[in-house]
Structure 1
Amino acid sequence: MLHAVIMAGGSGTRFWPASRKLVPKQLLPLAGESTMIQATSERIESLIPSDRQMIVTNEILVDAIAKQLPNMPRENLVGEPAKRDTAPCIGLAAALVAAKDPEGLMVVMPSDHVIGTNDQFCDAISAAETLVNEDPTRIVTFGIQPTYPAESFGYIQRGSELDSSHQLAPSFDVERFREKPDRQTATQYLESGDFYWNSGIFLWKASTILDALKQNQPAMFQHIQTIAQAIGTPEYEQVLKDEFCAIEGTSIDYAVMENYPNVCVIEAPFKWDDVGSWQSLGRLHPSDPSGNTVVGDHLGIDTRDTIVYSNPDHTVVTIGVKDLIIVQTEGATLVAPKSEEERVREAVKALQSSGRDHLL
């Protein structure tokens, strides 16, 4: 059977001050009425019902996610005892899936992407499932056709095209994965036509990814195996804490994907946005005639190309400004030029070092 694993452990610091430790961006309604994690679960529900969906998150977020996803079985909400990046997260999820369904397949996806439409996404997942059923050792990922030379995404270089007459979209062997490039290199990737943005969405057999971790990350795999052996026992929670915290964290791209010999990429037939920063709202919401994107209540006078995000009961008034990001929340307000938006993380670190942890 096909299972869904939704990774929801990120802190979303680039969306401060709306995103906080206890309410990170995946729990916010940034792209519509539903929160990001609700939309992710709903996206796959017609193909994978909630009893075969698993959320892997920071243990301090389990209760909040349970409230947002009341139909999700509580045992499917997995709290990580420490932040250890995507490879340990995926290894833990694979062990839990394999314990229930030794032949199970799993689609792994982040909780904070905007994808449209749900039907297109589910069709693409079904296409990937077909590829894995054809070759159970195969790992499938999804590549996004780049529209500009992005420096903030990893890239996938495609190789030979697969026999994809039965596929929804073209599928290729993966030549190699590339880290986030500089501007010049990203431009070369775009012009070549052979590179995709790495969506961070994968499909594989649970046993395949566990075998890959065993081969490429034996120390990590040993900790995961010890956790797996404790599943269903009274000692599980303590073993999970001890063993997971002992893992040296790393990304799944570095741990497995860059070295695995049988990876293919499907050219994603769906629209995709990783919602990486406040300027993403300009792509997700309509703008007014002056180019302003507003979520909340705003009165603008001679205001252009500005993003405003506020509580619905709080009116933001701007006069004679342009190219700003203005975020109003309870207890904290952010005002910054769009060109300085990457420094939001710097502000979060400064707040932490100055003892303002109540704002984080």
Structure 2
Amino acid sequence: MALNIVILAGGHGTRLWPVSRKGVPKQVRPFLDTDTLLQKTIQRLESVIERDRIFISTHEQYRNLVASQTETIAPANIICEPSRRDNAPAICLATMTIAERDPDGLIGICGADAYIANEDRYKDILSSIPDILLAHPNEGVLLGVVPQYPETGYGYIEYEISNIKYQISNTCVYTVKRFVEKPDIETAKDYIKQENFLWNPLQFFFTVKHLLSLYEQYAPEIYTGVQAMMQIEDEDKKRNIYDALPAISIDYAIMEKIPDLLVIPADIGWLDIGHWRAVQDILSSSLSPKGGDTPLASSLYQGEGSEGSWGMIVKGKHIGIDTQHSLIYSEANRLIATIGISDMIIIDTPDALLICPKDQAQRVKELVKKMQDTGLEEYL
């Protein structure tokens, strides 16, 4: 059984506004170096997964944009949903598409917006998935990330740390106890102390047959709707069927209802590039003396030469006095000057400027919603 991977690349990335926009969302933008997040994800997979088994799930609006950035991926492997109904319908559509070609195969789901520091370990885990699913064909396997700090922006997976269910080489597989919603800071600190909680990066693996059986059992409306949609040619009729599907995530539709799930604790240096603080944290690490001269430093520089300034990540033109631990990211060809600021995020584009404290970077999504509600759609 061979592993097929579906990269989810249909979101807007609102928390990375004003660089991520509806017309050109974050997954097709370069945040860390000259490659886009989608391109970096494909590059990470290509050394482990055959190219004709890498699929991209995106919105019809982004078909041409995605195709222009993924020359190594066949156009037939770009699976487009006609409208946005969250990821449960999108994953069902991708799974049924793969089932037409490889009904006895395996499927894995990952996002297009992750940073993984230890790519070698990640590839080792991917290589072990076929053997794990061969031994446990009626169970799903999740990737769980060993947390580095108490994070309130991620969901968590609790697992039975004392009982190894399966082991292949240096990869241990455990039983999932439960999923946990995004916690408050004190709860997150407690999870770190307990050591049997993992970040949930929404990466999981099934046999194609088993995942479809779970849709049929737990999300029959999505299963029958997507099945009907794939049997007709008329695009308007397809869209009407898809529009009527429940807008729900696969976590709520299926994952939290499954009694038998396995998890691989992965210490791979994973971070979700979902907001500006994550961008700063990744670049700060890659530009530090410990990180050395990495490819991530190629198009960014630290704020050298600014009086009383350190810990800066700067893309563009900047001069500052007493400016520390801030991200200044400019796509506009103008100088940004700062005095007496610390732990700030400044994002400058030709038509919009964002300024916010680093610890409130998650709230950019709220700001985008407010812009929608007040008629500022032209900036989104």
| Structure 1 length-normalised TM | 0.93
1:176 shift after superposition: 1.1
Distance 1:211 1:239, change over 3 A: farther
Aligned to 1:303: 323
SS in 2 for 1:322: coil
Q: Report deviation, 1:356.
A: 2.3
Q: Distance in 1 between matches of 2:34 and 2:332?
A: 13
Q: Is the 8 A contact 2:332 2:349 kept in 1?
A: no
> Partner amino acid for 2:27?
Q
Are the equivalent residues in 2 in contact too, given 1:297–1:312 (CA < 8 A)?
Answer: no
Whether the 8 Å CA contact 1:31–1:114 is kept in 2: the answer is no
SS in 1 for 2:33: coil
**SS of aligned partner of 1:177:** strand
1:312 Cα deviation from its structure 2 partner: 7.1
Aligned to 1:294: 314
| Residues matched between the structures, number | 356
Describe the SS at the equivalent of 1:303: coil
Structure 2 regions of 5+ residues with no counterpart?
A: 289-301, 303-308
Q: Which residue of 2 aligns with 1:172?
A: 174
What is residue 220 of structure 1 aligned with on the other side?
Answer: 222
| Structure 2 CA distance for aligned equivalents of residues 71 and 341 of structure 1 | 34
Match of 2:291 in 1: none
- Judge conservation of contact 1:56–1:93 (CA < 8 Å) in 2: yes
Structure 1 counterpart of 2:231: 229
Which residue in the other structure is 1:258 paired with? Answer: 256
Q: Structure 1 residue aligned with 2:342, among 322, 325, 328?
A: 322
Separation in 2, partners of 1:41, 1:161: 34
Once the two structures are superposed, the pairs formed by residues 151-170 of structure 1 within 5 Å of their partners are: 151-159=152-160, 161-170=163-172
**Partner of 1:298: helix, strand, or coil?**
strand
* Consecutive unaligned residues in structure 1, runs of 5 or more: none
Matched with 2:145 is: 144
Deviates more, 1:159-168 or 1:322-331: 159-168
Amino acid at match of 1:105: L
Q: Output one character per residue of 1:122-177: Cα deviation in whole Å (capped at 9) or x when no partner.
A: 21112122111112112001111112222111111112533544243321011111
d(CA) in 2 for partners of 1:15 and 1:208?
35
**1:270 is aligned with what amino acid?**
I
Equivalent position of 1:336 in the other structure: 356
**Match of residue 36 from structure 2:** 35
The match for 1:182 among 184, 194, 204 is: 184
- Residue 108 of structure 1 corresponds to 109
- 1:298 maps to a residue whose letter is H
Q: Which residue does the alignment assign to 1:354?
A: 374
Structure 2 partner of 1:208: 210
The alpha carbon displacement at 1:229 in A equals: 3.4
Is the CA contact (8 Å cut-off) linking 2:332 and 2:350 kept in structure 1? no
Which amino acid in 1 is paired with 2:69?
A: Q
Corresponding position of 1:241: 239
Query: What is the distance in 1 between the residues matched to 2:279 and 2:154?
Result: 18
Query: What is the letter of the counterpart of residue 90 of structure 2?
Result: C
Letter matched to residue 168 of structure 1: N
Counterparts in 2 of 1:322 and 1:213: CA distance versus 1, 3 Å? same
Measure the CA separation in 1 of the matches of 2:181 and 2:261. Answer: 17
Cα RMSD over matched residues?
Answer: 1.8
- Sequence identity (%): 36
C-alpha separation in 1, matches of 2:375 and 2:280? 33
1:245-267 deviation per Cα after TM superposition (whole angstroms, max 9, x unaligned): 11112111111111212210001
Residues 155-209 of structure 1, C-alpha deviation per residue, up to 9 Å, x if partnerless? Answer: 1111253354424332101111111122232222221111111111011112111
How does the TM-score come out when normalised to structure 2? 0.88
Alignment-derived partner of residue 92 in structure 1: 93
Alpha carbons 1:169, 1:269 under 8 Å: kept? no
